[in-house]
Structure 1
Amino acid sequence: MRFQCFLLPFLVLFSLTSYCQKKVLFAKSTTSNITIDGKINEAAWTENPEIASNFIMFEPDNGKPISEDKKTEIKVLYDNDAIYISALLYDSEPNKIQKEITNRDVFGVSDHFSVSINGFNDGQQDYTFYVSAAGGQMDCVATKDGEDYSWDAIWDSEVSITDFGWVVEMRIPYAALRFSNSQKQTWGLNFMREVKRDVQKYTWNHVDTKIGSVTNQAGILEGIENINTPTRLFFIPYTSFYYQKNELGSDKTFKAGLDIKYGINDAFTLDAILVPDFGQTKFDNAILNLEPFEQKLDENRPFFTEGTNLFNIGNLFYSRRIGGSPSSVPETAANEEITNYPSTVDLINAVKVSGRTEGGLGIGFLNAITEKTYATIRNTDTDEYRKEVIEPLTNYNVLVFDQRFNQNSSVSFVNTNTTRNGGFRDANVSAALFDLSTKANSYNLYGDLKYSTVNDIENYDGIKTSLNFAKTSGKYRYFLSGKYISKNYDINDLGIIFYTNYHSAFANGSYRIVNPTKFFNTFKIEQELNLEVQNTTGKTQEGWYKTSIKATTLKNNYVEFLFQLNPLDRFDFFEPRVDGRFVYIPKSATVYAAFVTNQNKAFTYEIESAITKFDEDQRVTYLLNGGVKYRFNDKLSLAYDFQYTKKLNDRGWVAFDNTDIIFGKRDREILQNNITGKYAINTKMTLNLSGRYYWSYSDNDTFFTLQDNGYLNPNNEYSLNKNRNFNSWNFDLSYSWWFAPGSELSVLYRNYTQIGSNNVEKNFHANLKNVFDADMTNIFSVSFRYFIDYNRVKNKF
C-alpha cells in the first residue's frame, strides 16, 4: 500500500506529460486519381495510411475524451499538387445531424469538420478549412488574435450522410497554403469536429482552454516530401451591367475589369485589381449623425477585406479612406453655388503584396491610386459654370513588417503614407509595436510607439504610445494598460481616430470557469477601472468602474449583466467643435442586461436593454434591442431585429452664433429595423434578402450658450430651428450562383432613399409613409466573375 502511494504521484505526472504531448500524424504519398465526392472509395484510402483518432473535447467540458458513439477517424494523403483529407464522423443518431445550407463563410446551424494547417509549424498562423454537414465551405486565417474569414481560397470538398454518421472528403491545393521549400515538410496540424445539437467541439490534438492561445497547441503532420509546388497564377475577369432609375431619369452602365492573383514564391502573393467595380457591395447604414466625428463605415469591398490581416496590425489602416469622400471643399464667392459635389472619389487601381517567410517575417505592401475629382460651381449672376479640384490624383501606401518568434511573440513596423498631387495635404504615420508572450502563454506584454506627420498649410506632428500587461491563462486573469496620445497625433488620412490629447490608465480583473458546473457551461465575471485625463487642462475626460457577468446556461442560453458607474464629473473636449473649448458631462450610472436563446433551435430570439441615468435635470437614456429568427428548414430562414434608443433631456452642440457656441437640450429617438432572409437552393445557389429602415429625430426645446468653464447658461434669444428628422431606406434582393470554384454569377435588385427635414415628425407610420412616397432610386445589376487557374489552362493545352 505504501509502495502504491509512493508510485501514484509519478504515474499522475507521467499521464499528464503524455497527455500534453503533441500528436504526430504521417501523410502518405499517392499517385492515384482521387475524386472528391464524399464517398472515399478509392484504393489509396485503404492502403494503410495512418488514422488520426481519439479526439478530445475542446468545449464546453475541456479535456474530456470523445465518446465511442462519436468516434472520429481522419486520414491524410498527398501528391504533387495537393493534400487530401478523409474524415469518418460517427454519430449514433445520424437523423439528428444538423445541416443547414448557408452561404460561404456562414456557419449556420450545422455540424462542422475542420482542418487547420500551419506550413511553418511555428504556432503563429493557421490556414483553417471548414466543411459543414450540408456541404458548405468556410475558411479563414487564424492567429492568436482571432480568425479572419475575409480570406478565401479555392479548394474542393464534398460530404455524404450515411447510416453511421457523415463523411467528409477534401482536396486542398498547395496554392491555398504557405510553407517552406524544404525537401521534408513538417507542418502544424489540428482537426476539429463540432456536434451542433449538443453544442460540443472536439479537437484531435488537445487544446487547453486555460491557455489563451489556440494556434500553438496543434499537433504535427509529417511525411510530405519532395513536392514541386505549381505556379500560383490566377485571373478573375469580370463583367457587369447596371440599370438605374429614379424620378430624374434612368441610366445604363456596362463595366469590365480584371483581378490578378500571383504567387511570387511559396510565401508571397500579389493581388491586383484593374478597373475596379464595387457596385454590388453591401449598402452603407446611413444614420442621423449629430456627433462631432464622422460616421465610421464598414468595409464591404472584397479587395480591401480579403487577406488584409497583416495590414490591420497597429490599427493604422482604415480602407474606406481610399475612394472615400474628397478631402477639400471649394471656396465660393457670394454669387456662387456648388451644383455638383461628388460624395466619393473613384479608385483607378490597387495592388497588394503579402506573405510570410520561413523565418516568420511577414511583409505586406498595399498601394492604391484614386483619380482627380472636381466640384462644379455655378455663378448665379452670369449662369456660368466652372470646375475646381476637390481631390487631386492621390497615392496611398501601406507597408508592414511583422517578425514572429518563439511561436507566440512578434515585433512589427508599420508605415502608412498619403501623397496628394500639387499643394494638397500629405501625411505619413510610422509605428513600432511589440507583442511578447511567455512560452506557456501565461503572460503577455505588448505596446507601441506611433508617430504621425502632416504636411498642410501648417505642418504638425504627434505621437501615441501605450504599454499593456496581462495574465492570459487560468481561472483568474488580469489586464493593465497605460496610454498617452498627444494633441496633434493625426492618422486620419489613411486611418481613423477620434479622441486625442489625453493619457489614460486601465485595469481589468476576471474570473471564469474552464469546465461546466451544475449551473453553467461557461461563466465569467469581470471588474474594470478606467481613467482618462486631458493633457492640456488636467481635467477628467473619462472615468468609470464596471462590473460585468457573462454566462451560458446548461441549455446553452446566453445571459449578460453589466453595471457601470461614472462617479466623476467629466468634460468633453470635442462636442464644442472649437479647439480648446470643452463641455461638462455629469456623473452617470448604467445598468445593462441581455438574454439570447440557444441559437441551434429553429425559433430563436434575443433581447437587450439598458438605462443610463445622469445626475442632471431628468436626463436619461433608454436602450432596447431585440430580434427573432425562424429557420423553417435547412434551406429557408427569416430574421427580424430592431434597435431602439430614446434620449430625454440630452445635451448637444447645435450651432455657432457669431463667437458663441450654442447647445440645445433635446429629446432624441433612434429606431432601426432590419429584416434578412435566405433561401438556399443548394450549396452553390442562394437567394438573399436584406432590408433596413432607419428613423431618427432630434427635437430641441431649450438653447444654451457654452461658457469658458464648460458649463451651459440659458440663451433665450436664440430661436433658429435646429431640429432634425431623418429617414433612410435600403432594400436588397440578390441571387448568387457559384457555378465553378471561385466563379460567380450574381443578380441584384436594390432600391434606396434618404430624406431629411428640420420639421420633426414623431409618428412612426407617417415617417414610413413619407419614405415610400419619396423618390426611390432603383438599381438592377448583373455581375459575372470567372476564376481562371493558370495551371489548369496550361494542362489542357
Structure 2
Amino acid sequence: MPSIKAEIIIDGKLNEKEWQDAQVFNDFYVTVPFSLEPTPHKTQTLFYSDDSGLYVAFINAQDEETRDRRKHQRDNLHQTYDRNVVVIDFDNNGSTGYMLGVSLSNSLIDYTITNENQVDKDWDGEWFARTSESDENWYSEFFIPWTMVPMSQQEGEKRTIGFSVSRQIRYLGNYVAFPKVTPQRPKFLSKLHKIQVVKSNPSRVDFFPYVVANNDFIKDDSSFNAGAEVFYNNGRGGEISATINPDFGQVESDNIVVNFSPRETFYSDKRPFFTQSQSMFDISLDWYPGFELYSLLHTRRIGDAPNYDCSRYSLAEGGSNELVSECEDNQVNSNGIDAAIKYIQLGEKTDYGLFSAFESNENFSEGKDFFAFRTLHRKDDHKIGYMVTHADKSFINRQATVNAIDYQYLPSSKIKIESLAMVSNSNEDEAGFGSRTAVSFNPSKEWKYGAEYYYFNEDLNINDMGYLWRNNLASYGASVNYTRTDFPEDSFVNNRSYNFDYWDQNNADNENLNEFYTFFFRQSFKDTSSLGINIFAKGEGKDDEITRGSLEAPFIMQDAGHRLEFSYHSRIYGFWQYQLNTAYEFWDYYSFTNEAKRIGGGFSYTPQDNLRFWFRVSHGTNTNWLTYINDNHYGTFKQIRSNMNIGARWYPSEKQELQVKLEMLSFRNQKGEGWFANSSGFLVRKNQAEESINIGNISFQIRYKYEIAPLSNFYFVYTRGGGYDFDDQANTSKIIRTTWREPEGNRLAAKVRIRF
C-alpha cells in the first residue's frame, strides 16, 4: 500500500491543499442541553488521515464580540469556554475513547472515556492543536498521531474508528455535536459515528527520565531523586511500560480535608506512570464527583504509608527499648517504589493486561508488592471481563487477593445493563463477597430512569490494593429524571431538569438502616447563569458507621431528618463572575437534635484573558456535632467551621503557567458533652465534659510550569502548610496566623521530566 503523507502544519490556519480533499461534517445539533435542535451557529468539521495520524479541523461561525479567549488550566472540562472537542475510539469497539479538546485560547483538555460515558482526566497524551480567527469565524486544527495510544490490529486495507466532534459555545451555554451524542447520556461510546481512515499502526518507544531536587526548610535538609519511565508500543496492539524509581513528585497539592468519619477519603492518583495506559485496569464507580464507591485497583495504595510493627524490636524479641522508640519516632508517610511494570494487549475481540509494582524497603519496614491481571472480551452487544489483584505484605504476614467479574449488555440504544461480582480472600480474613447490578433506560431525550442494587457482605475487603467506601451493605434504589429544553425563544430559560431518587439502605443481614429521598432541581438560563435546589430527606433509622463496629452498641438510633441546599452561579459580568450557596440541615438523635447551617460564595476576576484571580469562602455552624471518641463513647460539640480558598493563575506565554494558591481551614468544636449508646441504640448522657477539638489547617503553594515540549515539563514549586490543635481561646484569626507561622511543611522543589 503506498505511503500517504500530508503536509499540514498545525497552526489553526486551514490553507493546506489536503483540507480540500477532507471529509466534511456539517450536521451539528445541540446536545447540552439535550434538545437535539440544529446548531444556532454554523459549524463545519473537516476530517483527513494519512500514515502519520488523524487531522481534524473546525470552522466555527461566531461574532467576534461573543468569543471567549480566556486561558485555562489543562483538563479544565467543567467550566464553560469556546472550545472544539474530538472523541476517538481507535478500535471501534466501545471499550475506550479519547477526548481531545482545544479552546479558542489554545488551552487543552484530554480525557479517557470508559464504561460508555465515564471520563477520567488523569491521562495525558501527545497530540497537537492550534486555533486562529477571522472576522466571521474562528478555526481550530488538530493532529492526532497514530502513536498516541496502542491500537488493536484490524483486517482490511482501512481502519474503522468511532468518532464524534463537538463545539462548546460559551455565551449560549451550549454544546453542539455530530453525531447526536454526549458523554452526559448513559450511552456514548457505542453510539459514535463510524468512519474509515488510513490504516497505520507504527511502533514507538518513549523514554521519560526525570529529576527532582527538594529542600526542606524545617529539617534544613536537601535531597535529590531521579528515575525513568519507558513506554514501548509494538504497533500490533501491545504496549509495555516500565519504571525504575517512578516519578513521585506531586506538583499538585491535594485539597484540605478534615475527616472524622470512619470512612477513608478517596484521592485520585497524579503520578504519570500510574495514569498513562491505565484505563484497562479501571473497574470503579463514582457515585458523584468526589465520592468514590469502589475502585478495584487504587494505585495510590502503591507507595502509601509503610507497614510498621515496632514490637519486633522489643526486648522480648531480642531488641531494646531504644530500638522501639527509634522505630516509633522514624515512621514516614510514604513508601519509596523500586520498580513497576505493566503490559497491555488489545485485540479485535479480547484485551488483556498485566500490572506489577514493587516498593522499596524503609527503615523498620519492608516494601509491599502488588500484582494485577485484567482481561475483557466483547461479543455483539455484550462485554465480559475478569480481573484479579494480589497484594503481598510479607512484613506483616498478610497476603490479600481479589477476584472480580464485570459484565455489560447493551440490548438497544435506550437500555444499558451492567453488573459486577467480586470476591476477596486473605490469609487473615474470611472470604468476602460483593456485587452491583444497575439498569438504565432512556425512552426519550426528556426522560431517564435508573435502578441499582448493591450487596457487600461484612467480610468483603478490597482495600489492600483497591478502595471500598464501606462493606456490610445491602442497598437498592431507583431514580427518575426529566429534562425540558423546548422553551420559547423569548424565554430566559435554557433548560430545566428535575430528578427524584429513592434509596433503601440495609446492612448485609438485611436489617434496615435508613431510607433516603432526594429531589434535585436544576435550571440553566440563556445568559449562562444557573441555579440548583436540592432537597434531601430520610426516615427513622440506624447509624452503624459511627460506632466503628462496637459490640456493646453496634448502632445509634436516628429519627427523621432533612437537608436543603441552594446554589447559584452567575453569568460573566465584564471581568467578574460570582457564585453563592447555602445549606440547612436538621438531624434528630432523640436525646438531642443537631441543626447545621452553612453559607458560602466566591468570585473570579479575569482582567486579561491570560490572568485570573479567585476567592471562595464558606462558613458553617452545628449546634450538636456528633463524633466518635472511643468504643461506645461519643461527644457532641458546638461547631464553627470556616474555609477560605484564594489564588491566581497567570499564563505569561503559551508554554508558561504560574499559579499561587492558598487554602485555609478553621475547625472549632467546643462545649463538648459526653454520650454513650444503650443496648437499643439510644444515646445517653454521660454527665461529663469533653475536651474541645480545635484544628487549624493551611496549604499554600506557588507553582511555576514551563512546557519544554509536549509531555516534557519543568516545575518549580514552593509549598508551605500543616495543621495544629488549639485551645478554646484561639479564634479563627489566631488559628490561621499560628498555622502559617509554624508550618509542619515548608519545602522548595524543582522537577524536570523530559520525553525522548
**TM-score, with length taken from structure 1:** 0.85
Equivalents in 2 of 1:782, 1:172: separation in Å?
Answer: 31
Taking structure 1 as reference, are residues 401 and 751 closer, same or farther at Cα in structure 2, changes over 3 Å only? Answer: same
The aligned counterpart of 2:722 is 753
1:175 to 129, 147, 154: 147
Partner of 1:730: 699
1:382-415 per-residue CA deviation (whole Å, 9 max, x = no partner) reads xxxxxx43xx2311122222223446x4222121
Corresponding position: 1:313 with 2:288: no
Q: Give deviations 1:477-505, integer Å, cap 9, x for gaps.
A: 32222222211111111122243223222
Q: CA deviation at 1:731?
A: 0.9
CA contact (8 A) 1:134 1:683 kept: no
Is 1:781–2:749 an aligned residue pair?
yes
Aligned position for 1:528? 501
Distance 1:551 1:364 in 2: 43
After superposition, residues 555-574 of structure 1 pair within 5 angstroms as: 555-574=527-546
Q: How many angstroms apart in 2 are the aligned matches of 1:211 and 1:576? A: 38
Q: 2:133 aligns with which of 140, 161, 170?
A: 161
Alignment of 1:382-421 (within 5 A): 388-389=364-365, 392-406=366-380, 409-421=382-394
Q: What is the deviation of 1:417? A: 0.9
Per-residue CA deviation, residues 679-736 of structure 1 (Å, 9 max, x unaligned), is 01122211111211122133253222332322233223x56x5322211211111111
Residue aligned with 2:339, SS: strand
Structure 2 SS opposite 1:197: helix
Query: 1:346: how far off?
Result: 1.5
Q: Secondary structure at the match of 2:190?
A: helix
Work out whether residues 540 and 571 of structure 1, in 8 Å CA contact, stay in contact via their aligned partners in 2: no
- 1:348 lines up with 2:323 in the alignment: no
Q: Structure 1 residue 234: deviation in Å? A: 0.5
Matches within 5 A, 1:599-614: 602-614=575-587
**For residues 206 and 501 of structure 1, what CA distance do their matches in structure 2 show?**
41
User: Which of 692, 701, 706 is matched with 2:677 structurally?
Assistant: 706
Distance across 2 between alignment mates of 1:569 and 1:443: 34
Is 2:153–2:237's contact at 8 Å kept on the other side of the alignment?
yes
Counterparts of 1:417 and 1:764 in 2: how far apart (Å)? 46
Contact 2:122 2:270 in 1 (8 A): no
Aligned equivalent of 1:222: 196
CA–CA distance in 2 between the matches of 1:102 and 1:62?
Answer: 28
Letter in 1 for 2:470: Y
Query: In the alignment, is residue 455 of structure 1 matched against residue 427 of structure 2?
Result: yes
Which residue pairs with 2:521 in the alignment? 549
Contact 1:311–1:364 under 8 Å retained in 2: yes
CA contact (8 A) 2:5 2:52 kept: no
Counterpart in the other structure of 1:624: 599
Contact 1:621 1:646 (8 Å CA) reproduced: yes
The structure 2 residue matched to 1:188, chosen from 136, 151, 162, is 162
Mean Cα deviation higher: 151-160 or 209-218? 209-218
Contact 2:721 2:739 in 1 (8 A): no
Q: Partner residue of 1:767?
A: 735
| 1:187–1:643 distance in 2 versus 1, CA, 3 Å | same
Cα root mean square deviation, aligned: 2.7
Q: Distance in 2 between matches of 1:466 and 1:49?
A: 45
CA distance in 1, matches of 2:261, 2:182: 44
Whole-Å Cα distance in 2 between the matches of residues 633 and 354 of structure 1?
45
Q: Relative to 1, partners in 2 of residues 1:546 and 1:45: Cα closer, same or farther, differing over 3 Å?
A: closer
> Which residue identity does 1:373 align to in structure 2?
E
Does residue 1:446 correspond to 2:421, yes or no? Answer: no
1:491-530 aligned within 5 A: 491-516=462-487, 518=491, 520-530=493-503
- Partner of 1:310, secondary structure, is helix
271, 296, 310: which one pairs with 1:330? 310
For residues 206 and 544 of structure 1, what CA distance do their matches in structure 2 show?
Answer: 35
- What runs of 5+ residues in structure 1 fail to find an aligned partner? 1-27, 375-387, 789-797
2:96 is equivalent to residue 128 of structure 1:
no
Equivalent runs, 1:17-28 vs 2, <5 Å:
none
Q: Answer whether contact 1:509 1:528 (CA < 8 A) is retained.
A: yes
- CA 1:303–1:622: 2 relative to 1, 3 Å: farther
Deviation at 1:566, TM superposition (A): 1.6
In 1, Cα distance between equivalents of 2:617 and 2:378? 43
What are structure 2's unaligned runs of at least 5 residues? 285-294
- Partners of 2:234 and 2:3 lie apart in 1 by 26
Whole-Å separation in 1 of the counterparts to 2:175 and 2:104: 14
Q: Decide whether aligned partners of structure 1 residues 372 and 199 sit closer, same or farther in structure 2, where only a CA change above 3 A counts.
A: same
Q: 1:168 to 1:775 in 2, by over 3 A?
A: closer
State yes or no: 1:270 paired with 2:240: yes
1:29 touches 1:224 (CA, 8 Å); kept in 2? no
Residue type at the aligned position of 1:649: N
- How far does residue 184 in structure 1 lie from its aligned partner after superposition? 1.7
* Alpha-carbon offset, residue 601 of structure 1: 6.4
Partner residue, 1:379: none
Conserved 8 A contact 2:161-2:197:
no
Counterpart of 1:260?
230
Cα offsets for 1:111-153 (capped at 9, x unmatched): 2122222223334432232122112222222242322222221
Question: Is this contact kept in 2: 1:590–1:611, CA < 8 A?
Answer: yes
Which structure has the bigger radius of gyration? 1
Match of 2:37 among 56, 64, 71: 64
- Which stretch shifts more, 301-310 or 416-425? 301-310
Give, as a single letter, the amino acid of the residue that structure 2 aligns with 1:678.
Answer: R
Secondary structure of 1:243 counterpart = strand
Match of 1:469 among 420, 428, 439: 439
Where does residue 9 of structure 2 map in the other structure?
Answer: 35
Distance 1:581 1:414, change over 3 A: farther
AA in 2 matched with 1:53: N
Q: In the comparison of the two structures, how many residue pairs are matched?
A: 725
Cα 1:633/1:415, change in 2 over 3 Å = same
The whole-number CA distance in structure 2 between the counterparts of 1:477 and 1:697 is 43
More displaced stretch, 727-736 vs 409-418: 409-418
- Give the Å deviation of 1:429: 0.8
Give, as a single letter, the amino acid of the residue that structure 1 aligns with 2:359. Answer: T
The equivalences for 1:19-168 within 5 A come to 30-46=4-20, 48-60=21-33, 62-66=35-39, 70-91=41-62, 93-107=63-77, 110-143=81-114, 144-168=116-140
Partners of 1:741 and 1:677 in 2: CA distance: 24
Name the amino acid aligned to 1:63.
L
Query: In structure 2, do the counterparts of structure 1 residues 630 and 473 end up closer, same or farther at CA, with 3 Å as the change threshold?
Result: farther
Change (3 A) 1:646 1:454: farther
Change (3 A) 1:714 1:148: closer
Stretch deviating more after TM superposition (478-487 or 574-583): 574-583
Quote how far apart the aligned CAs of 1:460 are: 1.6
In 2, the alpha carbon distance for the partners of 1:347 and 1:599 equals: 46
The one of 459, 463, 476 aligned to 1:488: 459
Aligned to 2:291: none
* Structure 2 residue identity aligned to 1:401: T
Aligned match for 1:668, one of 632, 636, 639: 639
Q: C-alpha displacement at 1:340, in angstroms?
A: 1.8
1:638 aligns with 2:613: yes
Gap change, CA 1:317 and 1:515, over 3 Å in 2? farther
TM-score (ref. length: structure 2): 0.89
Q: How many Å apart are 1:208 and its aligned residue?
A: 7.9
| Cα deviations by residue, 1:341-382 (Å, 9 ceiling, x for unpaired) | 2222222222233353222x33233211112233xxxxxxxx
- Tell me, yes or no, if the aligned pair for 2:167 and 2:175 is still in contact at 8 Å: yes
1:245-273 residue CA offsets vs partner (Å, 9 max, x unmatched): 12xx4111122211111113342322322
Amino acid at match of 1:201: Y
* 1:129–1:453 CA distance, 2 compared to 1 (3 A): same
Please show how residues 218-297 of structure 1 align to structure 2 within 5 Å: 218-225=192-199, 227=200, 229-246=201-218, 249-297=219-267
